[in-house]
Amino acid sequence: MHGAGENVRQDAQRRGRCVCDVDTAVLAKAAATVTEAQGKQVKSVADFRRALDDKSIDALVIAAPDSLARAARHPRNVGRKHV
């Protein structure tokens, strides 16, 4: 969530079930922010593929430059998720 657009950040705080970032410091801060906003613990993963494997997650919002998000949008990675 580091550097994500304001609308993406606000939506994630309201409805996110899981946050993902390869930077563990950013991941911990994002998870704490979303947990505080929702009043319940959210999952945090460093590898977006774990979020894709989670059956309780039906959509994935990618707040990264296209060059970095390309792998996450690839059909073999996405499966039946909305990306």
Q: Where are the domains of the chain?
A: 6-78
| Alpha-carbon torsion, ordered 44, 48, 49, 51, to 10 deg | 40
Model pTM? 0.65
> Exposed, middle or buried, 2 (CB in 10 Å: 0-12/13-18/19+)?
middle
pLDDT at 19: 87
pLDDT at 59: 76
Q: Compute mean pLDDT per 10 residues along the chain, 83 residues long, and list them.
A: 63 80 88 88 88 81 68 59 55
pLDDT at 25: 92
